Structure 1
């Protein structure tokens, strides 16, 4: 009986969380960001403050979800490793819908390459535009130029190389976007491995299709990927990006497998 009540509560709490997230984004857009714009005429200052506000709001949202009993988050170690970084390309695997929220909640000065769909989302379009996140639906040269500018300004660029959420129990498939950006911006990659057990909020599931028990969500920052060997071995940037993508795939596969080993030990 208790398990059934707990399950019903978590379904309700999940719906409440996403409603709160959407309304929160709308309220920020309508009331908070205009005040920031009013008192900060410099667009660079507005962008910095908007991004920091998003970072703090999403950190509170993560804690809100934990308080409701939907997730148990283990982010302390990752937070300590990420909060002081500057000018890094942060790449992560993508098992759940909330990965970008959790990751940006740990990085005070985060930029993000986002899908075109978010630029048209009723609740979030003003958030991503005021924050001046990078739209992935643009000319490649312009995209690289915007990424390079962001890194030079000291922001950390968050990218999910898969381009969409991982399909559970299927091989990882990567796009070359992250590798292309790293090669052409000549910036190393900092991998973050996300694990969620049991799986939830995957691309194949509706928001209300939750697991029988609370999900345990963790992040691990692993060894930085030095892109120098890939640049030195290949004069052609496209080939270098392809080889780097294969290396990223290997790192993700090995680290995800390591998570499974650690989970089975527990």
Structure 2
């Protein structure tokens, strides 16, 4: 019976990721050009494209759930659905973390690797949504500030890449720098995936021996961070990064 379950989940996982990849290609080829034609206003096109991605990711999460591939435990969902102008900061244990977060948060924005804007499968989607490219540090800060000012919620993974299983989280300074310069409220989110799957070292077909459980919850309130004297921004970013990192390590240890 366990062998049958494993084979089924392997097939189901493959099907889910085929749908994800093929669907992205179809949308890039047919839907995105239509959005450009229909919505000449750039801001309106971004809102429509982001709403589309929100519902597509919601559908993908449902596909993972009802295919028996995964189970999802989402706490404080109503709170996340009604955020406005927040930085949603989360640890990053799996490949689908951003997918789940965008499926919950309708007006989500995020910082995307510049190289992905050259990916033929998704570059049209990224262009229409107006997600922020990380190609220019100063430009990223200003884009984040404007996005938050418009009421969007900015999803950030301070680790910069997926967590290595068994190791403590290590944050880069980019997230703290954005938070300090944009002066926006932070909503800290904790993600746990058990058994671990879709980590940086694993391919999609390296599935666990049982259905994985994806849990998402709000962390305790982010600790306050006060500055004394005329501290340089680089020093403040470094100090705030250390505060956030320690806070997340303690929060992860309790789940």
TM-score w.r.t. the length of structure 1 is: 0.91
Secondary structure at the aligned position of 1:105 is classed as helix
Q: Does 1:89 align with 2:78?
A: no
Give per-residue Cα distances to partners, 1:129-152, cap 9 Å, x unaligned: 2111011122x2111111111111
**1:159 equivalent in alignment to 2:159:** no
Confirm whether residue 186 of structure 1 aligns to residue 191 of structure 2: no
In 2: Cα distance, 1:222 partner to 1:111 partner: 20
- Pairwise CA distance, 1:231: 4.2
Q: Count how many residue pairs are aligned between Structure 1 and Structure 2.
A: 255
Relative to structure 1, is the Cα distance of residues 122 and 231 closer, same or farther in structure 2, using a 3 angstrom cutoff? farther
Q: Which structure 2 residues correspond to residues 143-222 of structure 1 after superposition, within 5 A?
A: 143-222=140-219
Corresponding residue SS for 1:230: coil
Question: Within 2, Cα distance between the matches of 1:85 and 1:147?
Answer: 16
The structural deviation recorded for 1:64 is 0.5
**Corresponding residue SS for 2:15:** helix
Matched, 1:257 2:216: no
Residues 15-164 of structure 1: pairs in structure 2 closer than 5 A:
15-75=14-74, 77-138=75-136, 140-164=137-161
Q: 1:235 deviation in Å?
A: 2.7
Q: Is the 8 A contact 2:73 2:215 kept in 1?
A: yes
Bigger Cα displacement from structure 2, 213-222 vs 229-238: 229-238
Indicate which of 244, 248, 264 corresponds to 2:244. Answer: 248
Between 119-128 and 44-53, report the one with greater CA deviation. Answer: 119-128
**Cα distance in 2 for residues equivalent to 1:223 and 1:125:** 36
Are the equivalent residues in 1 in contact too, given 2:50–2:107 (CA < 8 A)?
Answer: yes
Contact 2:163-2:200 within 8 A present in 1 as well: yes
Q: Is the 8 A contact 2:91 2:159 kept in 1?
A: yes
The answer to whether the Cα contact below 8 Å between 1:189 and 1:226 also exists between their aligned partners in 2 is no
Provide the residue aligned with 1:263 in structure 2: none
Q: CA RMSD in A?
A: 1.5
Contact 1:234 1:240 in 2 (8 A): no
Change (3 A) 1:234 1:188: farther
Provide runs of 4+ in structure 1 moved above 6 Å.
Answer: none
- What is the alpha-carbon distance in structure 2 between the residues aligned to residue 122 and residue 9 of structure 1? 31
Give, in angstroms, the shift of residue 21 of structure 1: 0.5
Q: What CA deviation, in whole Å up to 9, does each residue of 1:60-104 have, x standing for no partner?
A: 1001111111100112x3321111001111110000000010011
Normalised to the residue count of structure 2, the TM-score between the two structures is 0.95
| SS state at 1:191 partner | strand
Report deviation, 1:26. Answer: 1.5
Unaligned runs of 5+ in 2: none
SS at match of 1:29: helix
